[in-house]
Amino acid sequence: MYLFARSARLGPGNVRDSMVWSANITEKVNQISELDVSLWTTVFSPGLGTLVWTAAVEHLSVLEATDAKLAADDVYISLVEEGAKYLSADPIDDVLLQLVFADEDAANSQPQYASVVASALAPGNSTRGIELGVEIAQRAKRITGRPTSFGVASTGPYGGVEWISLYDSVDQLQKAEADIAADAGFTQFVDKEASTAYNAALPTIQTIYRRIV
């Protein structure tokens, strides 16, 4: 299972129009492709105004077929061109994450918030880092009760890893944060094991997203 994500950052101004445009282009992609695309934006996090379109896929051939369909659709192309007046000059990035541990409960929910923790495997610790990543996700779910998946980056910086936790509301997210912080066993486990499994020379970054569509 893969998680595909495309991110773009909005420029200043045109707030309402840009939100309408982002919802329209998401709807169009869902109309003409096999993907179930969701639209998110960053909140309480760096990169304010960043839009992220995500979709889970079993086979990369689905992404290939979707690209072909979109390239042949005049309405979609018009929406892409319209987006030029809303987006900043920052690059539009695609990311592909291979879900090593895909929480089954994630597929049966309609989350409104997602918390993503991104890190990187330490050199020589790939196997241990992946095993530990799955264990961290499972422990986090036992503490919070929320779906938590773990994946390894197929594109982008080599060795990138991510934990993705889903929430139905901001209150649920806040409670989960408090529960994790209050669990001394979890903190001690992460401090002991993660210090060698993940690259301490690179920052571990946490980002919170809110669902738009």
Select from 146, 142, 4, 22 the least CA-distant residue to 64.
4
pLDDT at 49: 94
- Given a cut of 50, the residues of the chain with pLDDT beneath it are none
Contacts of 149 (CB under 8 A, 6+ apart): 3, 99, 101, 102, 103, 106, 137, 163, 164
Contacts of 35 (CB under 8 A, 6+ apart): 4, 29, 55, 57, 62, 63, 66
pLDDT at 39: 98
pLDDT tens for each residue of 114-149 = 999 999 999 999 999 999 999 999 999 999 999 999
Global confidence as pTM = 0.94
pLDDT at 156: 92
β-pairing, 205-211 with 148-153?
unpaired
